[in-house]
Amino acid sequence: MPGTTRIIPLGGLGEVGKNMTVFEADGEVVVVDAGLAFPRDEHLGVDLILPDFSYLTDLERPVRAILLTHGHEDHVGALPYVLRQARVQEVWATKLTLGLVKSKLDEHGLLRSVELREADPEGGQVELGPFRVEFIRVAHSIPDAVAIVLETPGGRILHTGDYKLDHTPVDGLRTDVGRLAELGTRGVDLLLGDSTNAERPGMTGSERLVGEAFRQIIPVLTGRVLVASFASNVHRMQQAIDVAVDVGRKVCVVGRSMRKNINIARNLGYIDVPDEALIRPNELDDYAPGDVLILCTGSQGEPLSALVRIAYGDHPAVKVEAGDTVIISAKPVPGNELRVHDAINQLARCGAEVLHEEIAPVHVSGHGKAEELRTMLGLVRPKSVMPVHGEFRMLAAHARLAREGGVPEDRIVLAENGSVVELADGVPRIVDRIEAGVTFVDGLGVGDVHDVALRDRRHLSEDGVLIIVATLAGSNGGVAGQPELIARGFGEPGEELVVEMREEAHRVLAELLEDDVTEIKLLQEHLHDGLGQLVYDRTGRRPMILPVVVEV
């Protein structure tokens, strides 16, 4: 029946990460994905970046369902935090995605907080209030990825999730082009399409190409072999394991998330490794270097990951040396390039040979390139297109492909996080905007780090801190002795500057006290301003100045 559907991206547009999109009709809400992003260097002390869920927490009714396209962190990583803050009735996901999500929710103590439902990618519709939902299998760099079809009062919507048209996937389960074509025949009013590789011409290579590269590279190596990849890339791990078993190497899995994911995938039948082929990290020294293959986390140069600890000689069980080979089987996520290069340099310093995608065919993307996006547009023949999942340049490139494919200019929606897109009678347009910022996870705190805290941390990291401790001799007295100075992070000031700062602090306090200014807050403000100007004049630095005035 004719009506209206509102589509509100809370994350994933204008960025790579924290994918999350709200669909709203007849007072009911479903959400596709709940992802996170990892901090960049400017996010000092921040562990994770989440979408701002306040739109969901303010709803009168619970969220009808969260639908997950696949098990990558940028699509499911924020789920525990959403469930803690918003009321959600159900979570729908395919078998492997559900297995990964259960483990995550169990760690957060939230396993019983929501009903978990298994989605069938082979067909069949699910009724969720005014929405009828079906799942279509797509190939990606993790098994059990799906596109999601939403029959809504405003029109039929296809959200592709992350996909590529891999004709020879490791598990034989290709993107279901037959059902996509059938969907195109039924008619798609709006396509929300993955834009990650929209700027790149051609087709993305098959996952099997990496397995073939492993078969060429690994058998001729004589030292230890380390393969670093995303912990969720089950097919990549399977192909490395297969080669190791074939050449008689034992397999050691290092890194908490990779061990956990391999166990889940083995239990669910998505990965096959003989028990006798597996060894523990503390058993590595019992085998010759040429007899082991190590699977590890750290392909993004994460500071506490297994590969980085190994590179810096900080891992309790694994070390690399001359003759060893490290294969980094992943592409750096935008913003992680410097960390990855640092890890590569450190591994090379240890004597290891490092192979990565720029010099060897050891990685392929899980996202379709321009030709595959054209194929998707041709299969589905959408009346309107809204590019999603990517930086703005990627969204714009996807929009160009849609125009070239015959989609009218006024039917292409280039939205941003927080845009409110209204789909009525099959026609989308941006009608409003909501607040859609970010939420920082910092240690055990969620959302309690604000811009001012990051500004202060940046200030400390760049210019250091100066603490002045001054003691007043009673309410009617003067300054009790010389103020004490503690300087950190802006270079050890010379004795001359220390003396000058002490004298300036003493002078400022003495003048104020002579004028009967005794309020602690005013004394601290004048100390801050006086010493701040002196330090800047002498050093060109603006350290964070913390005056402490106490009475005795």
Q: Which residue has the tokens 């494919």?
A: 405
- Radius of gyration in angstroms for the set of CA atoms belonging to the chain, rounded to a whole number: 28
Residue type, 116: L
Q: Which residues are catalytic, by number?
A: 194, 367
Q: Report the C-alpha gap between 221 and 433 in whole angstroms.
A: 56
> What are the helix (H) ranges across 169-233?
177-186, 208-217
- Which residue in 82, 17, 92 sits closest to 52, CA to CA? 82
Assigned token pair, 92 = 């729908």
Outline where DSSP puts E strands in 68-125: 90-93, 115-118
> Which DSSP symbol is given to 15?
B
Do the bridges between strand 325-328 and strand 250-254 make them parallel or antiparallel, or are there none, so unpaired?
A: unpaired
**Residue 422 near residue 5 (C-beta atoms within 8 A):** yes
With a CB cutoff of 8 Å and minimum separation 6, the contacts of 317 are 254, 281, 282, 284
**Residue 439 near residue 447 (C-beta atoms within 8 A):** yes
Phi-psi region of 260 (alpha: psi -120 to 50; beta: other; left: phi over 0): alpha
Q: Report the C-alpha gap between 322 and 320 in whole angstroms.
A: 7
**Residue 420 near residue 433 (C-beta atoms within 8 A):** yes
Q: Dihedral sign for Cα 29, 34, 37, 43, please.
A: positive
- Phi then psi for residue 165, to 5 deg, are -100, 70
